[in-house]
Amino acid sequence: MDVVLQAIGFVFQWQTLAALAAGTVYGIIIGLLPGLGPSAGMALALPLVIKWDPAMALIFMGSLYKCSTYGGSITAILVNTPGDASNAATVLDGHPMCQQGRGGVALGLSATSAMVGGTIGMICLIFAAPMLAEFALKFGPAEYFLTAMLALSIISAVVQGATIKGLIAAGLGLLLSTVGFDVITGHLRYTFDWTPLEDGVPLIQALVGLFAVTQALVLAESAASISRLARLAGGFWEGVAIYFRHPVVFLRAAAIGLFVGVLPAVGQSSAGLLAWADAKRSSKHPEKFGDGSPEGVLASETATSACMPGDLVCTIALGIPGSLGAAIFLGVMIVFGVAPGPLAFTEKADVIYSLFVALILTSFVIFVIGMTVARRLAVITLLPNDIIVPLILVISLLGSFAIRNEMSDVIISVVFGALGYVMLKGGFTPIPLLLGLVLGEMVETNYHRALLISGGSYTIFHASVISQVLIALTVLSLAGPYLGSYWRTLTQGEK
């Protein structure tokens, strides 16, 4: 307890608070810019903080890392472009809210979600990290394969509202994910000797295309503005009030976000979507989801914010990073002499607990920034399309170029933009495709790994209790819509 009190004392010094606020603002800006993620942000900031006191530097980096997903939610809501795959579900309801002139309400929801989700996640991280990490280790290749399959089937079945269309899009995503270097066999597939594809279809570049370029094309069809009303209805505080009227929804979303966040490599991309699907399933008005339902925004953003502390569980407790961002944070911790792992909690307790206290505090700083700055951004939705379309295209394609300084990446984004536009006109949402692309490698490599370990025997896929539960849930989520009204309500929420 002493150590926690000392940590609180350390964090509430003005220097620490300044580092924390700077990290938060920097993280939000990094999140706002397409193509610049937390990993690049932390690497660029490293020379700046290298001479700082370790605890202070880690607080700066930690708040930067934690806040970058919030920046992504702002662009998801206002211009239909998630900053990262983790904000994809926010697009579903956040952007329709903007079209109805309720952008300010949506921003209020996302800022409150970042505060509440982040705080719940951090509290669980502080008290249950070693336990959660032990649980994550129980997941071997077979369990990872089944988890990814479950996430894909839930999302395809629910996001679209039509299971078959969702599965078609997800299948297309899975097919595209086979492009590039096959990690297990070492072969190059479907690259047509074009080097930029050897790593596979680059994710952020595809995301920029599917969302930003497609959105620019859609907006270019009319001379109006994003908001169909000439003025904004409702504001930031209405969003905050709506948020706290749905305690069950946000608690469930936080639990889902934390749970999938703990599993290395699953979390960030699917947490928001799974929580969105769950909220729709259990809502009294599932038909409003995807059409500007505030519950959709709050479920997706709360899960995404709770996911990040989950992501840090294995990183800090075991020294095993769960995502690229976490891997870089791990590297930063080592540079500052805090070797992550089970011993960190005893050997470097002062630094670790200061970091935890600070990360709880950043959740509130995000809210203050959302309240003072981000809410004003809602006026963007009133700008005429002939100003906003070139802006979206220039900023997003520049972001796509900046990742590897390659013109080929811009081409990839434009191709995905065209694909997204065609899909949209054909009545498909690009989200299952995106998720298929993100999880495809996980599905394929873990399937292959499981069979390598078992020597080709399929029994490995139902050997553990975790696997059996995952199989049952997958079958239920896919077959549910066809089993009559009781099962349909249970799995899809439709009456």
Site residues, another protein (CB under 8 A): 39-40, 42-44, 46-47, 50, 136-141, 181, 183-186, 188, 193, 195-196, 198-199, 264-265, 314, 318-321, 324, 327-328, 331, 334-337, 339-343, 404-406, 445, 449, 452-453, 455
How is 239-291 classified by DSSP, letter by letter? HHHHHHT-HHHHHHHHHHHHHHHHSTTTHHHHHHHHHHHHHHHH-S-GGGTTS
Structure tokens at 237: 């505080």
| Residue closer to another protein, measured from CB, 236 or 336 | 336
What 390-396 contacts at long range (C-beta under 8 Å, 24+ apart), as own/partner pairs, is 392/79, 392/81, 392/212, 392/215, 392/216, 392/219, 393/212, 393/213, 393/216, 395/33, 395/34, 396/34, 396/35, 396/81, 396/208, 396/212, 396/213, 396/216
| Residue closer to another protein, measured from CB, 162 or 324 | 324
| Residue closer to another protein, measured from CB, 265 or 355 | 265
| Residue closer to another protein, measured from CB, 60 or 289 | 60
Q: How far is the CB of 54 from another protein (least distance, A)?
A: 10
Q: How far is the CB of 297 from another protein (least distance, A)?
A: 30
Q: How far is the CB of 141 from another protein (least distance, A)?
A: 6
Q: How far is the CB of 2 from another protein (least distance, A)?
A: 24
Residue type at 365 in one-letter notation: V
Residue type at 199 in one-letter notation: D
Torsional sign, CA 101, 69, 420, 440: negative
| Residue closer to another protein, measured from CB, 99 or 315 | 315
Q: How far apart are CA 297 and CA 289, in angstroms?
A: 9
Q: How far is the CB of 453 from another protein (least distance, A)?
A: 5
Q: How far is the CB of 296 from another protein (least distance, A)?
A: 32
Residue type at 466 in one-letter notation: I
| Residue closer to another protein, measured from CB, 196 or 235 | 196
| Residue closer to another protein, measured from CB, 141 or 209 | 141
Nearest to 81 by CA among 199, 236, 205: 205
Q: How far is the CB of 263 from another protein (least distance, A)?
A: 10
CB-based burial label for 192 (10 Å; 0-12, 13-18, 19+): exposed
| Residue closer to another protein, measured from CB, 36 or 150 | 36
Q: How far apart are CA 262 and CA 446, in angstroms?
A: 18
Q: How far is the CB of 431 from another protein (least distance, A)?
A: 25
Residue type at 77 in one-letter notation: I
Residue type at 58 in one-letter notation: L
